[in-house]
Structures are given as structure tokens and as C-alpha cells.
Amino acid sequence: MYKLLIPLFVLWAAVSVTIAQEAVVEVNLTGCQEPLSLLQFDGSQFYPVQAITEVNDDRYQIGLPKQDAAFFYIGTSPSNMTPILLGEEDTVRLTGNCLKISAAKVSDSPLNANYRVLKTEMNALKQEGVGLIRRYQSKRDSASRATVVADMKALDEKKLDLLRKAEKQHPLFGPIVRLNTYLSYHNHGEGYGNEIEYFAKEYFGLADFSEPVYGKLPWVFEGFKEYANTLASIGISAERQQQFIEQAISGMEPGTPVHKLALSGVVSALKQKNGQSFTYFARAFIEAYKEKDPDAAASMYAQIEQMKALLEGGTAPSFSQAKPDGAELSLADFRGKVVLLDFWASWCGPCRRENPNVVKVYEKYKDKGFEILGISLDSNRDKWLKAIEADSLTWPHVSDLKGWQNEVAQLYGVRSIPHTVLIDAEGQVIANKLRGPALEAKLAEIFGE
């Protein structure tokens, strides 16, 4: 009997070690029509780590080796997934609906619960800071402004308190909070000539990007995206933007994970803001990753070519899409006319409010060689057609009824609506995002009114 117990004990110990060395995710997602995957993000793409095995109806399971906690994503695609911290805990559960995985709930995970709380606290402090800046800007007398500056100082202390708490909670939390802690200029800007310089040089002042952990944080991508977006929105030259951003990433070795995350965030922001700066940093990305990640470099090159086409003087990308009656209409059909591509949707309030202005210029110039092509980001055909009739939009219209995934909108890099692209009779881009008086002025210039 004793001899029998020894191998049984060894077997039990081996099983126990195996179980302890695996982190298990139990997934209960209803309505999945596409395969689920476990993914990670490297700055340029979400790449699959492993497929997720279906155990039975609506129930799936993932097993991965025990490791330091890291950010993963569970979903069917980059547009339908949810982030989750995995690796340390034995079992984590995810429950929800496959149609909207971003709303799925994580349970049985103190780590993920604490992370949710941390994000809520960081966001609350950020919103409080935005409110204080607005209050400061609204004050005109020095006494009132001094009161707001004192409140800013108190908020800075709250941010530092949260940082101290986060550093005690988990090795990932401190670096995340450092990355997101920007202390007020009015209390910490001594030695800087203005707030722009302070922001540019101190936005990441508490983060040490030489720490390996930052190469594993998608927060780096988001942080540099927000940083570059702000610099591109405050009216400084492209040259100054480039100088500030280069200084912010100067301590990162090109080709490293943290550098890739940061540079990708910069490029993502600038693609929507500034053609010159976007091209500059996109080329830097290609140079750094053409050998390590040729697919990402090739994708970046394609984005540069697309941006060139959309800038003033570029050749507008050609396309065809269906009219309400189902017949295809092509941009080439309008050659010889000045064309306004008008990206809109029935559900877009600003678009509907802008429509009377668009109707006005159409009536004025339609007999002089001007045409409009409405491109709808609707997904409901009836609502699209009713809006066309209600707003008296008598020009041609097309849509693929794919909403934000409209293929022409994707081709033209549309990220918000209303969005317009004005094209000359030879198919060259004249200008982007003209609305109201600016559109009227440009058409008057073109048609000599």
C-alpha cells in the first residue's frame, strides 16, 4: 500500500504543478458568428497569440503559461474586442455578447477589477483638470486666477497620491499612472517661457521610458497619440511639432518595442492633423522597421501615398459606389466638373444643420460646372433616403450602407463628419473640410463670383 501511495502522490504533485503553471480564461460570449482570438498589440497591429477553443455552446476556454501580467485582447477583430490583463491569476472569466465584446464583463479577477478602478480614478482627475483650465481661462482678475491655481496645486497632489497608491498595488499600475500624470504648468512651470514649451517637454516628465515595462504597455501608444494630437492642434508650425516630438522619443532606441508604440501613436494622430508632419514621422517609422516588420513598413508607405493624394494638388482616389436605385456611380463620371464630395449621414446632427448651406451653394453654381456627390455613412437605407428628401438634397448620392466602414470614407481617411473634399475638373484635390462661408468663398473664387 505504501508503495502504491508514492506514485499517486507524485502524480498528484505533477498535476498540481501543471495547473499552477497555467492561467485559464473562461469565456462565455453569446451569439459568436466568427472565430474568437486572443490578441496583443505591438503598435502597428493587433496580432493573434492563439485561437480560442469552443468548449460547448457559447463557452470557450484559453490556457496560457503563467507569466507577469500583460495586456491582451479577446475578440473577433480589432474593431470588436475588449482588453484584459492576463498571466498572473489562475482563472479569469469573461462574460458578454459577441456583437459588442467591448461591453463584456471580467469577473473573478482582482487584478482587472483594480485596473478598472484605476482607470476610473485617472479619468476623473483628468476631467477635473480640464474643468480647472476652463475656470482659469474664464477668470480675468489675478485674485480669482490665484484661487484656481491653488485648486490646480491640490489636484496635482491628488495625482501624486494616486501614483503612490498605484505603485504599491501592482508593478504595471505605477508606470501607467506616471505616463498619464501631467502636473499643472502654473505650479510647476518655473524656468519655461510659456505653457507650450512646458507641455512639450514635461508631458511625460514622470515616465522613464528606459524601463522595460513601457515596451509592454499599449498606454504608450495612446499617450503619444494624445501628445501629438495636442501639439498638432495648438497652432504651432510643423517644424516645432517635429522638434518637440523627436525630443520626446529621443531616448528610445529605434526598433525597440517602446519606440514602436510611441512612434506609431504619433503617426496615428498626425495622419488626421498635418500632412507634412505625418509624412516626416511615417518615413521615420519605415526606416526603423522596414527590416524588423516589413509588413508594417509597407502599410505605412501606402498611407503616405494615400495622404499625398488627399493633399492639395494630389489626384483624388477613384471609386465607384451604388446609388439609391442600385446603379453604380463613379467619380470618373464627373470629370470636367468641379465636384464636392460631401461625406454625411442622416443621423449626423452637424451634417443636417450644414445641409441648408450646401443646398444654397449648389443652387448657385450647379449650372456653372459645379456638382456635389453625397456619400452617406448610413447603415439604414430608409433613413438615408428620407433624409435626402427631407433636406432637399437634389444632387447625386451613393452609399454602401456600411456606416463608418463605408469604403469610400475609408479610402479618403474620413474620421469625422461632415467632411468635404473639393476636386477640380481634372480630378485634382483643391481643398479639404470646407464648410459654410469657407466653401462659399472658395467656390466664388473658382467661378469668378
Interval 205-222 mean pLDDT: 96
Q: What is the pLDDT confidence band of residue 449, given thresholds at 50, 70 and 90?
A: low
Residue 15 lies in a domain: no
Interatomic CA distance for residues 297 and 29, integer angstroms: 35
- Mean pLDDT lowest among 162-176, 193-207, 305-319, 353-367: 305-319
pLDDT tier for residue 414 given thresholds of 50, 70 and 90: confident
Domain that holds residue 259: 112-310
Residue 11 domain flag = no
pLDDT score, position 5 = 40
- CA-to-CA distance for 331 and 299, rounded, in angstroms? 25
Query: Quick check: bond before 418 cis, omega within 30?
Result: yes
**Angle of CA points 413, 221, 215, to nearest 5°:** 145
Q: Label residue 25 by pLDDT band (50, 70, 90).
A: very high
Domain end residue (candidates: 67, 84, 108)? 108
- The confidence score (pLDDT) of residue 20 equals 52
**Between β-strands 37-41 and 46-51, what pairing exists: parallel, antiparallel or unpaired?**
antiparallel
Same domain, 254 and 123: yes
Q: Are residues 168 and 297 in the same domain?
A: yes
Same domain, 286 and 381: no
CA–CA gap between residue 19 and residue 352 (Å, rounded): 59
CATH number assigned to the domain comprising residue 95: 2.60.40
97 and 133 belong to one structural domain: no
Residue 274 pLDDT class (50, 70, 90 cuts)? low
Nine-digit cell string for 106: 471580467
Rounded to whole angstroms, how far apart are CA atoms 11 and 28? Answer: 31
CA distances from 328 to 82, 331, 332, 412, 422 (A): 37, 10, 11, 19, 21
Report the distance separating Cα 403 and Cα 343, nearest Å.
11
Q: How large a percentage of the chain has pLDDT more than 70?
A: 95
pLDDT at 10: 41
Looking at residue 151, its pLDDT comes to: 98
User: Mean of the pLDDT values across residues 250-257?
Assistant: 94
Q: Which of 320, 353, 355, 346 is nearest to 334 (CA)?
A: 320
Together in a domain, 233 and 132 = yes
Q: Measuring CA to CA, which residue among 71, 69, 70, 57 is closest to residue 27?
A: 57
Residue 376: C-alpha distances to residues 380, 383, 436 (Å) = 10, 11, 19
How far is Cα 175 from Cα 213, in angstroms, rounded to an integer? 8
Question: Taking 80 as the threshold, does the pLDDT of residue 276 lie above it?
Answer: no
C-alpha cell recorded at residue 253: 532606441
142 and 253 in a single domain? The answer is: yes
What confidence score (pLDDT) does residue 369 get? 93
**Entry pTM:** 0.76
pLDDT at 275: 61
Please give the full DSSP string across 164-219, using - where no structure is assigned.
Answer: HHHHHH-TTHHHHHHHT----HHHH-TT-SSHHHHHHHHTTTT--TTSGGGGG-HH
| Same domain as 342, residue 426 | yes
- Is the pLDDT at 89 greater than 70, yes or no? yes
For all residues of the chain together, what is the average pLDDT?
Answer: 91
pLDDT of residue 433: 86
C-alpha closest to that of 217 among 185, 279, 170: 170
Q: What is the pLDDT of residue 17?
A: 40
The domain tally of the chain equals: 3
N residues, the chain: 449
Domain co-membership, 341 together with 392: yes
pLDDT exceeds cutoff 70 at 15: no
Q: What is the mean pLDDT of residues 92-100?
A: 94
Q: State the pLDDT confidence band at 315, using cuts at 50, 70 and 90.
A: confident
The domain that holds 347 is classified in CATH as 3.40.30.10
Angstrom distance (rounded) from CA 69 to CA 83: 13
Rounded mean pLDDT of 415-423? 91
Strand, coil or helix: 341:
strand
C-alpha cell at 169: 498595488
Q: Of 108, 131, 149, which closes a domain?
A: 108
Q: Is 436 left (phi over 0), alpha (psi -120 to 50) or beta?
A: left
C-alpha cell at 391: 433636406
Domain stops at, among 108, 138, 156: 108
- 121 with 102, same domain: the answer is no
pLDDT digit string, tens, across residues 2-14: 444 444 444 434 4
Strand 419-423 to 429-432 pairing: antiparallel
Same domain for 340 and 231:
no
Domain co-membership, 351 together with 376? yes
Helix or strand or coil: residue 75? strand
CA distances from 245 to 223, 251, 303 (A): 12, 11, 20
pLDDT tens, position by position, 48-78 = 999 898 898 899 999 999 999 999 999 998 8
pLDDT band of 210, cuts 50, 70, 90:
very high
**Residue pLDDT, tens place only, 369-413:** 999 999 999 999 999 999 999 999 999 999 999 999 999 998 888
Confidence category of residue 18, pLDDT binned at 50, 70, 90: very low
